Structure 1
């Protein structure tokens, strides 16, 4: 394939995916910007609740990734009707998972938050937010599933339009309901959760409507098919395990931060009266910004899933390999660019989210560490997308377990020995991101993942 033509194809999918993925973390960034001005305790509570909610929803990201790969393979094999039928099964699976998860998360909000061991005020704020925000779980899972269908059909523009509109609605509703404008009551932290849920419902309705129309045009059934739903669930198990290891690594990192913050507070190493809120809030902002940049880099991985799946579905191993090599180059360059931008902006980013000088000062060195590991992240996300598009979920699951097994005890030990927030982030970059890079490079250099046909 001509390199210029390949670049155009990657850009055609990656640019809208980039903009849509940028819009996704803006939900939390918008919430943080609005809630941060209520107080540091509310911001820390939002951080813990957001970690729980993003973990619950993130575990189901296979609804997007697995559907993208499966639909793209069917499309590459010339089976568009079957591609949409497989996508509809994914939507029903999202509902089947979302309803019980919504109930469980809402009812168990306080126990889920208490796992982090934060102070009483932070825990109360997190519980308030999580109980309401959990109602958006099923809509979010439907957004994942429908986005996966459209990406598999090589359409990344429709999810972009819906994501932009949803974020605009979320920000407006947050301002309206948190502070109260006109007849709207001042709900403070709870208002942020209500606004997010309303925006998520609207996004789900819009995307489901697009997929349903496409399925009807091709004559694909809209009814739930037990066999297809079970097949979608089985195919998603390895990706679920892979995602579980990633989310567990982030949870362990947050737990390490809380542990170190609590020990510093007990030792009087933090400002009087600030308790553990400052390091937790700082970590929340740093992790939110990291996720923002991760989604930016993941845009190329989205293109990798769609294009790799399509080429392998069509039986073209050579094209799949060429796409992989080229997208790795894109990943490196994108990582360098985001790293430089983050390093340059680090002294000023904190002021966008909080008036607390202690949080702003603590944020700068953490962001510099995050900036240093952006090129590594660029390659990691691209190769992850390639292997997902190839249907190589089993390897990704095993590799994730290996990396988690090495990283978790190391970061917890680092925290227990009294390391500060910045050192915890250094360990995160070296052990977690470095481990992922090593395992993904090893696999991509081989041939085992280049499986052709309509099914992986």
Structure 2
């Protein structure tokens, strides 16, 4: 399948890590990563005008949607790690074939998850909102939005193999092909159908983008289209650790939403606004981590350990400066930014103190996410899994327990989230400078 005549994609003159090379990968990836959170921020702003109840219902529904899809992050990050190694070794068709198998996984698991969400939507919504009226609205949103779950996973798989072959521009264009029509339709559909219109617009946008990724795969792939159990099994071995890592995040975020819902409707609505901002900002910072992952995997694929370390150091410096700039913007413009999403005074009051914790997390994330990218590119998923689990147990859960039992409200919840970030940051810095991640083991052909 790989072909004997394929050559490594790098020449000697391209072996050094340059700012231009990093940004050439990072900027289109930034567009892809920022697009969906930007859409969610628009969604939050549109629904926020309907009232705190609808905003709280969207918070519950979006939490579920995020939970069931982000468990499969290995479809993008794991696929990139494997594809980039093959691409760095000059096996481009083998790298693309990883995308075929990842797409089969996306389709099968996506349909299963959509069915589960449809069946159990009401008990899940009632658990998250602790209010029957809000839960009823959330159920309607969740059952329509469930159709977007397999579409989202197909998109994740497409991003994975395209990043692996160092093509981050095409995913950006395909993302725009779905996001722009969905964003244009959003206010009209919400105006006509209320909260459910938000879910319909989401399905439309994801459907268009997923179709584009499937077409791109058909054009690029020249081998078998049959599911390959051996390759899928190897992807799932890497995916197992990434799934557990993602599950740790979701335990934290679902617990945070549940506790916020028990504080008050205003606290849950405020948490939704801040969480969507955090998700947006982390994915913006993750654009540089995508470049780090792709370049690290490619460098290790041909044995260039010193270049892999140089990638990590350069991307971390860039990411830190970028994060500090974002933190400054949110510190100065906080009052204006918060009022973009709600004019409810109770919701604004609930955000006042946790906002400064958000700013501190942005600054720390500049280093954290860059190093996450290096370790993911090296396939160091087992370490990242263990570190994330530890950060939840040592950092987040004590904070959330204090928030629940001591009544510290949204501030206590976000103290727990900040502690989780600090634990991960310390672990990533230690791991990177230990160089234990620089294994030269290749994925099996």
| TM-score normalised by structure 2 residue count | 0.93
Map of 1:74 onto structure 2: 86
Kindly report which structure 2 residues correspond to 1:55-70, keeping only aligned pairs within 5 A, or say none: 55-70=67-82
Q: Say if 2:108 is the partner of 1:105.
A: no
Deviation of the 1:36 alpha carbon: 1.2
Further displaced range: 87-96 or 158-167: 158-167
- Does the C-alpha gap of structure 1 residues 3 and 293 become closer, same or farther in structure 2, counting only changes over 3 Å? farther
Of 246, 251, 255, the residue aligned with 1:248 is: 251
Q: Say if 2:178 is the partner of 1:178.
A: no
SS at match of 2:353: helix
Deviation of the 1:141 alpha carbon: 0.1
Gaps spanning 5+ residues in structure 2: where? 1-12
Equivalent pair of 1:76/1:454 in contact (CA under 8 Å): no
Map of 1:235 onto structure 2: 238
Map of 2:324 onto structure 1: 336
Map of 2:360 onto structure 1: 372
User: What is the CA–CA distance in structure 2 between the aligned matches of 1:337 and 1:41, rounded to whole Å?
Assistant: 34
Of 212, 222, 230, the residue aligned with 1:206 is: 212
Deviation of the 1:406 alpha carbon: 1.3
Deviation of the 1:117 alpha carbon: 4.6
Equivalent pair of 2:30/2:286 in contact (CA under 8 Å): yes
Deviation of the 1:151 alpha carbon: 0.6
Equivalent pair of 1:77/1:454 in contact (CA under 8 Å): no
Of 354, 357, 372, the residue aligned with 2:345 is: 357
Equivalent pair of 1:309/1:389 in contact (CA under 8 Å): yes
Equivalent pair of 1:17/1:157 in contact (CA under 8 Å): yes
How big is each residue's C-alpha offset from its partner over 1:364-395, in whole Å with a ceiling of 9 and x where there is no partner?
43223211221211111111111111001111
Deviation of the 1:196 alpha carbon: 0.6
Gaps spanning 5+ residues in structure 1: where? 180-185, 262-275
Map of 1:444 onto structure 2: 432
What is the RMSD of the two structures over their aligned residues, measured on CA atoms?
1.7
Of 137, 149, 154, the residue aligned with 2:149 is: 137
Deviation of the 1:362 alpha carbon: 2.9
Equivalent pair of 1:93/1:233 in contact (CA under 8 Å): no
Kindly report which structure 2 residues correspond to 1:427-438, keeping only aligned pairs within 5 A, or say none: 427-429=416-418, 431-438=419-426
User: What is the CA–CA distance in structure 2 between the aligned matches of 1:356 and 1:37, rounded to whole Å?
Assistant: 9
Deviation of the 1:6 alpha carbon: 1.6
Equivalent pair of 1:350/1:360 in contact (CA under 8 Å): yes
User: What is the CA–CA distance in structure 2 between the aligned matches of 1:3 and 1:434, rounded to whole Å?
Assistant: 34
Q: Say if 2:292 is the partner of 1:289.
A: no
Which stretches of structure 1, 4 residues or more, deviate above 3 A after TM superposition? 1-5
- Does the C-alpha gap of structure 1 residues 404 and 5 become closer, same or farther in structure 2, counting only changes over 3 Å? closer
How big is each residue's C-alpha offset from its partner over 1:328-354, in whole Å with a ceiling of 9 and x where there is no partner?
111211110110111122101222222
Deviation of the 1:116 alpha carbon: 2.2
- Does the C-alpha gap of structure 1 residues 86 and 3 become closer, same or farther in structure 2, counting only changes over 3 Å? closer
Equivalent pair of 1:399/1:439 in contact (CA under 8 Å): yes
Deviation of the 1:87 alpha carbon: 1.6
| TM-score normalised by structure 1 residue count | 0.91
Kindly report which structure 2 residues correspond to 1:29-428, keeping only aligned pairs within 5 A, or say none: 29-179=41-191, 186-215=192-221, 219-259=222-262, 261=263, 276-415=264-403, 416-428=405-417
Equivalent pair of 2:113/2:149 in contact (CA under 8 Å): yes
Q: How many residues align?
A: 431
